[in-house]
């Protein structure tokens, strides 16, 4: 079953996971409002990217009925000029965050508040680029917390956590090393990472949840209800 799981984060928010096994043709055939989505598909997407893009939209549609007030079936997942997803035809307080990597797509759908989600295939890329997105103290903590064989997982987790916080912030021009700050934590298979967002001269505190939904992947997410 491609729809892998639905987890309720709060009375007004749900997290969904989709395990991508279908071809683009299979996904198109079962996608609601497929004709309306056809002109929205990125023109440069190859077959793999098309499948990820379509699976993400299938997943979000599967979550519509999980909110206290279900979203209208004609709602479309669109992207703004920065690539951030939004829900055309839905109430103004409907919030969506969407991510895909490899064979997985993840989404948080909420009624009010803010949300961020990110799923990543574990690779060595995050460790190689650590100096570009980690503050000096974060990098020092990461070196102390990692042992042989787990560094790729840990650095990928740190990158993913910052991606989720970035999506939650919904603000352009954020510098990851300076404005998305992660506090020291004891790495486990799943847990929470304390985080600080520095924006507009103010600092706010957040908690990024994390887990490993499948071998070779990390998932991070955060939902903060309105009020």
Q: Over the stretch 214-227, which tens digit does the pLDDT of each residue have?
A: 999 999 999 999 87
Whether residues 151 and 217 share a domain: the answer is: yes
Whether residues 107 and 165 share a domain: the answer is: no
* Separation between Cα atoms, residue 11 and residue 88, nearest integer Å: 23
Whether residues 16 and 78 share a domain: the answer is: yes
* Separation between Cα atoms, residue 119 and residue 164, nearest integer Å: 9
Q: Which of 81, 112, 143 is the last residue of a domain?
A: 112
Whether residues 95 and 132 share a domain: the answer is: no
CB burial of 109-128 (b: ≥16 within 10 Å; e: otherwise) equals bbbbbbbbbbbbebbeebbe
Q: Which of 67, 86, 112 is the last residue of a domain?
A: 112
For the chain, the C-alpha Rg in angstroms (whole number) is 17
184, pLDDT greater than 70? yes
* Separation between Cα atoms, residue 32 and residue 26, nearest integer Å: 12
Q: What are the φ and ψ backbone dihedral angles of 77, each rounded to 5 degrees?
A: -85, 115
Q: Which secondary structure element, helix H or strand E, spans residue 185, and what is its range?
A: none
pLDDT of residue 226: 83
* Separation between Cα atoms, residue 208 and residue 222, nearest integer Å: 5
DSSP sequence for 78-99: EE-TTS-EEEETS-TTEEEEEE
Percent of the chain at pLDDT exceeding 70 = 98
Give me 183's structure tokens.
């506090």
Q: Which of 112, 131, 165 is the last residue of a domain?
A: 112
- Categorize the per-residue pLDDT at 150 as very low, low, confident or very high, splitting at 50, 70 and 90: confident
Instruction: For 79-117, write each residue's pLDDT tens digit.
Output: 998 889 999 999 999 999 999 999 999 999 999 999 999
- Categorize the per-residue pLDDT at 149 as very low, low, confident or very high, splitting at 50, 70 and 90: low
pLDDT of residue 144: 85
pLDDT of residue 148: 60
* Separation between Cα atoms, residue 87 and residue 78, nearest integer Å: 6
Q: Mean per-residue pLDDT for 133-161?
A: 90
Whether residues 12 and 102 share a domain: the answer is: yes
pLDDT of residue 146: 74
Alpha helices in 64-188 (DSSP H): 125-128, 130-133, 136-145, 151-169, 176-179
Whether residues 92 and 188 share a domain: the answer is: no
Mean pLDDT of the chain: 95
- Categorize the per-residue pLDDT at 53 as very low, low, confident or very high, splitting at 50, 70 and 90: very high
- Owning domain of residue 76: 3-112
Q: What are the φ and ψ backbone dihedral angles of 36, each rounded to 5 degrees?
A: -70, -25
Sheet holding 94-101, edge to edge: 3-10, 13-19, 104-111, 94-101
Whether residues 99 and 165 share a domain: the answer is: no
């Amino acid at each position: 079953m491609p729809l892998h799981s639905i987890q309720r984060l709060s009375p007004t928010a749900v997290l969904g996971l989709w395990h991508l096994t279908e071809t683009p043709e299979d996904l198109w055939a079962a996608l609601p409002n497929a004709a309306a989505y056809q002109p929205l598909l990125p023109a440069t997407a190859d077959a793999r990217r098309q499948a990820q893009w379509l699976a993400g939209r299938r997943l979000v549609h599967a979550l519509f009925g999980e909110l206290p007030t279900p979203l209208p079936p004609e709602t479309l997942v669109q992207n703004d000029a920065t690539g951030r997803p939004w829900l055309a035809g839905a109430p103004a307080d409907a919030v969506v965050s969407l991510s895909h990597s490899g064979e997985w797509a993840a989404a948080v759908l909420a009624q009010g508040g803010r949300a961020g989600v990110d799923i990543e295939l574990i690779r060595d890329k995050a460790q190689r680029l650590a100096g570009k997105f980690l503050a000096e103290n974060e990098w020092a903590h990461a070196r102390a917390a990692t042992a042989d064989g787990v560094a790729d997982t840990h650095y990928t987790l740190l990158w993913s956590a910052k991606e989720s916080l970035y999506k939650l912030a919904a603000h352009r021009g954020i510098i990851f090393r300076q404005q998305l700050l992660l506090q020291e934590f004891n790495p486990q298979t799943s847990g929470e990472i304390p985080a600080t967002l520095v924006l507009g001269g103010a600092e706010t505190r957040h908690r990024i949840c994390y887990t490993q939904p499948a071998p070779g992947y990390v998932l991070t997410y955060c939902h903060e209800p309105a009020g």
